[in-house]
Amino acid sequence: MKILSYLEEYDVPIAQIGFMTALSGMANAMILVIINNAAEMVSNNNLQTQYFLLYIIAFILYVYTQRYALSQTVVAIEKFIRKVRVRIADKIRSAELHFIEHSKRGEMYTQLTQDSNIISQSGLLLIAAAQSGMVLVFSFLYLAWLSPISFLITIVFISISVSIYWFYEKQISKQLHIATQKEAQFFEYFSHILNGFKELKMNRKKSDDLFDHIDMLSEETEKLKVKVGLQQITTLMFSRISFYLLLAIVVFIIPSLHATHADEIYKISTTILFIIGPIGMLVSSLPSLSQSNVVLENLSELEAQLDDVIIEIYSQQQAITSNFKEIQLDKATFSYPNQYGKPLFSIGPINLEIKKGEMVFIVGGNGSGKSTLLKLLTGLYYPSTGSLNLNCDQIEKTQYASYRELFAIIFTDFHLFDKLYGLSNIDDKQVKDLLRLMQLEQKTKYRQGKFTQLDLSTGQKKRLAFVTAILENRSIYIFDELAADQDPQFRKYFYEVILPDLKQQGKTIIAVTHDDKYFHIADRILKMQYGQLIYYK
């Protein structure tokens, strides 16, 4: 099982758990032997107290070892899941923006939530299956002692059944892998309903088309899972039919061929009936354990993808020692490649200097490359060619993390966090003053390190994001269409009071805007068109 190899990496006492599981299986088999012998003595009116005492000892040993193995497994599995989730979360935050922008988030959510629960459930199944396996081992030894011919026939039947079962189980495992991918796609498309709700409400044809696609995907997933389920039922019924056929041969056919076999038929049939439970446990747990293997493979694949895009420089980060005076893009370019590596859209080569204390506005149509330029300028994208410089010195990749600390950014697709993460010793009065400045004092309050209300209009959310950015107190502020969605009165206040006040504090401001009425506020106007910085003004 893959889960065992994974648990070994986390110092889980697998050997100790395995030993207790073996003892549990042995104690369970001992109960069978004691009951068989005690039942024989009862039939002869010769029951001895020692058998009752042995039964109590075996029972206590079984309960203790079973509980220990199961409880330790639960602790180990949950520890494993926590560490895997945290490790993947850490790798995701260390990945590059371009990877995150193009990742399938539905698959990530599925793998870290639903799939993790499957692993959690498989831990108990694994121990139960292992314990059942040990019961079978000791029961087979007991059966071999009672009747070698019954033992041989049982081994042959079970070996054939298991071989056939695993043959089909491999095919089922492949189908399960495809089914999990289909379900992840369903969540991906379902997110379109939530994220694009307004657009779908306004366009019935679009809504119906998307729903038809979701319905078709759900139907494909249903057919695939039904096919897998029917295959699992077939293998399950095959194993049970094999078992009952074995029982019929041992009870009805062999006694007529082997006289000594008939003397032990009661104990033999009891033993074979006793192993029904362990065999059923093993057979029923194998599909779930197989599914957990698929889940672990998916998690491994996700981590492998993250490892491919995480640059090793994160373990060698270097701080920028010089103070910010100016930043430059020197013949910098950036391209968005398609799946074949060919560029779909490119910007540059761009030569640009931003000096400390400047207020620079960037204009341009949709798709002209404004947001890409900002991501290149802030170090969220690495230049495909050319360089990004600070005070005329090229920034090395090991310095990018430190370089990004110069910026406070509000992109058009900004995210409002529930708390002011990364900020300590916050002055409550300053926060209240900023909320009043942004005309939000009646909409939300700052209490216990977070804002009481985030369910705001788009314009209000932008203003609250501005409050958070100001509290970060960075050298350079990036505003991407921040004034959009604001009423004319506040927009005027933003351009004529707030931005000049920031500049007076020595802050550098780079803002994407279309408000030509306020262009006179800026020191320079830059224009992007078709990925090129075409003129300065």
Each residue of 74-86: pLDDT tens digit? 888 888 888 888 8
* Confidence band of 69 (pLDDT split at 50, 70, 90): confident
Report pLDDT for 7: 65
- Average pLDDT value for residue range 172-183: 76
Q: β-strand 359-363 against 508-512: which pairing, if any?
A: parallel
Q: Tell me if the bond preceding 349 is cis, omega within 30° of 0.
A: yes
- Average pLDDT value for residue range 427-441: 88
Report pLDDT for 293: 75
* Confidence band of 299 (pLDDT split at 50, 70, 90): confident
Report pLDDT for 46: 64
Angle, in degrees to the nearest 10, between helices 114-146 and 14-43: 40
- Average pLDDT value for residue range 43-68: 80
pLDDT in tens, 317-348: 677 766 889 999 999 999 887 767 677 788 98
Alpha-carbon distance 304 to 84, whole Å? 13
- Average pLDDT value for residue range 109-120: 73
- Average pLDDT value for residue range 223-229: 82
Among residues of the chain, what percentage have pLDDT more than 70?
90
φ, ψ for residue 317, nearest 5 deg? -65, 140
CA dist list (Å): 404 to 325, 328, 372, 382, 479: 15, 14, 15, 12, 15
User: What does 73-115 look like in DSSP terms, one character per residue?
Assistant: HHHHHHHHHHHHHHHHHHHHHHS-HHHHHTS-HHHHHHHHTHH
- Average pLDDT value for residue range 379-386: 91
Side chain identity at residue 380, one-letter code: L
Alpha-carbon distance 34 to 277, whole Å? 18
Report pLDDT for 220: 83
Alpha-carbon distance 100 to 356, whole Å? 31
Domain chopping of the chain, boundaries: 2-310, 326-536
Report pLDDT for 327: 94
Report pLDDT for 219: 86
Residue 401 vs residue 289, higher pLDDT: 401
Q: What is the 3-state secondary structure (H, E, C) of 172-185?
A: HHHHHHHHHHHHHH
Residue 311 vs residue 479, higher pLDDT: 479
Report pLDDT for 48: 66
Beta bridge partners of 478: 409, 510
Homologous superfamily assigned to 2-310: ABC transporter type 1, transmembrane domain (1.20.1560.10)
Report pLDDT for 505: 93
* Confidence band of 44 (pLDDT split at 50, 70, 90): low
- Whole-model pTM above 0.75? no
Nearest to 522 by CA among 497, 502, 495: 495
Judge whether residue 266 has pLDDT over 80. Answer: no
Question: Which has the minimum average pLDDT: 216-225, 286-295, 387-396, 434-443?
Answer: 286-295
Q: Which two tokens stand for residue 77?
A: 């599995």
Most confident of 122-131, 187-196, 478-487, 504-513: 504-513
Report pLDDT for 378: 92
Report pLDDT for 333: 93
Most confident of 172-181, 299-308, 480-489, 497-506: 497-506
Side-chain-side CA neighbours of 134 within 13 Å: the count stands at 21
Report pLDDT for 262: 54
Q: Rounded mean pLDDT of the chain?
A: 81
Report pLDDT for 314: 54
H-helix or E-strand containing 514?
Answer: none
Judge whether residue 352 has pLDDT over 80. Answer: yes
Report pLDDT for 330: 93
Alpha-carbon distance 358 to 510, whole Å? 8
φ, ψ for residue 389, nearest 5 deg? -120, 150
Most confident of 47-51, 140-144, 231-235, 470-474: 470-474
Report pLDDT for 537: 56
Judge whether residue 113 has pLDDT over 80. Answer: no
Residue 510 vs residue 7, higher pLDDT: 510
Judge whether residue 423 has pLDDT over 60. Answer: yes
Residue 535 vs residue 416, higher pLDDT: 416
Question: Which has the minimum average pLDDT: 219-233, 287-301, 477-491?
Answer: 287-301
pLDDT in tens, 451-473: 888 888 888 999 999 999 999 89
Most confident of 103-112, 412-421, 507-516: 507-516
Judge whether residue 261 has pLDDT over 60. Answer: no
Among residues of the chain, what percentage have pLDDT more than 90?
18
What CATH architecture does domain 326-536 belong to?
3-Layer(aba) Sandwich (3.40)
- Average pLDDT value for residue range 400-409: 90
Report pLDDT for 6: 64
* Confidence band of 524 (pLDDT split at 50, 70, 90): very high
Most confident of 50-54, 416-420, 447-451, 510-514: 510-514
Question: Which has the minimum average pLDDT: 232-241, 296-305, 418-427, 502-511?
Answer: 232-241
Judge whether residue 147 has pLDDT over 60. Answer: yes
